[in-house]
Amino acid sequence: MPTPGGTPSPSRTPTPEAIPYIVQEGDTLYEIALRFNVSVEDLIEANHLENPDQLRVGQELLIPAPRAPAVTPSP
């Protein structure tokens, strides 16, 4: 049964592996990605950022869990 109020807007739902991070003065996505060992693309995707060049001090980002490195079988 549909609920009144229309379609809910997409939200950033933390996953068990994601951790919140508050943007500090001077932060860039690149620096945050390096600090947490994730890719800039993963940060953009996890936070639904439309313009990744416009971070705001105090903005909360969800930091996804780092991706496991691809395992290459030994010869």
Taking the complete model, does pTM exceed 0.75, yes or no? no
Give the number of domains in the chain: 1
CA 64-65-66 angle, to 5 degrees, is 110
Residue 38 within any structural domain of the chain: yes
pLDDT score, position 3:
46
Residue 39 within any structural domain of the chain: yes
d(CA 33, CA 63): 8
Beta bridge partners of 21: 61
Domain assignment of residue 43, given as a range: 19-63
CATH of the domain at 31: 3.10.350.10
pLDDT per residue as tens digits for the range 28-55: 999 999 999 999 999 999 999 999 889 9
Contacts with 42 (C-beta within 8 Å, 6 or more apart), sequence order: 33, 64, 67
User: Does the pLDDT of residue 13 top 90, yes or no?
Assistant: no
**DSSP alpha helices (H): ranges in the chain?**
29-36, 40-47
